[in-house]
Amino acid sequence: MSNSSDDLDFKSARAEMIQSDIRRRGVADPRVLAAMDRVPREKFVGPVDLDEAYADHPLGIDCGQTISQPYIVALMSEMLKLEGGERVLEIGTGSGYQTAILAELAAEVCSVERHAELSARAGKVLADLGYGNVSLHVGDGTLGWPQHAPYDAIMVTAAAPRVPEALKEQLAEGGRLVAPVGNPGHQTLITVTRTPRGFTEKKGIDCIFVRLIGEEGYGQ
């Protein structure tokens, strides 16, 4: 494949990604699959990675961060069980790709990123693509964004040694939080649900994410 976007058949590559890397691996929510088809992942990757835009593996972005592999993006989105009317908190804006997927699935997305450079770049791409239901904030993601709480769903896109208590407290009753939890070299996707009696946790697949840096993460 050429590195020129003019030469790439992104639509075909996107359809193949959805069929081979997402649907075949068990992601079945039709709204998630449709969102993955609508969001142009090539807009969120660097020029040198255009030929890898729809490959099923993470890609590096600035500030030592990554854009997650498409399967993980789809899986975590499905785990939130969004129906369309929710307010969602995303921790780790990064490239903005996962933000865009969430914006397709929910009414409002509030996304926190600790790197101002990444937040600004993601904001421009999201605005260029017409996502008007996204609000971005630069700060410590482990503390969430309490000004907009409570949230019907929370997605954490970096690994923490435990689910930050501040995020759990910003979750609405009946809401779900999905996060990779574990040590820096190995984590498990955890779903936390807030019930009238407290919080329940369910373990999912093993995974590897960059570290969540902050007061309730891996420190500064």
Which tens digit of pLDDT belongs to each residue from 140-184?
999 999 999 999 999 999 999 999 999 999 999 999 999 999 998
> How much of the chain exceeds pLDDT 70, in percent?
96
pTM as predicted: 0.93
Q: State yes or no: pLDDT of 7 exceeds 60.
A: no
pLDDT of residue 184: 86
Confidence of residue 219 (pLDDT cuts 50, 70, 90): confident
Q: What DSSP element (H or E) covers 100?
A: helix 97-105
Report the pLDDT averaged over residues 104-114.
98
Angle at Cα 144 formed by Cα 81 and Cα 206, nearest 5°? Answer: 50
Report the pLDDT averaged over residues 17-26.
96
Report the pLDDT averaged over residues 65-78.
95
99 is written with which tokens? 């933000």
Report the pLDDT averaged over residues 191-209.
95
Task: Tell me the one-letter amino acid at 11.
Answer: K
Active site residues: 68
Domains annotated on the chain, with CATH: 5-207 (3.40.50.150)
| Mean pLDDT score of the chain | 93
Helix then strand then coil, % of the chain, to nearest 5 = 35, 30, 35
Q: How far apart are CA 119 and CA 117, in angstroms?
A: 6
Cβ contact 50:14 at 8 Å: no
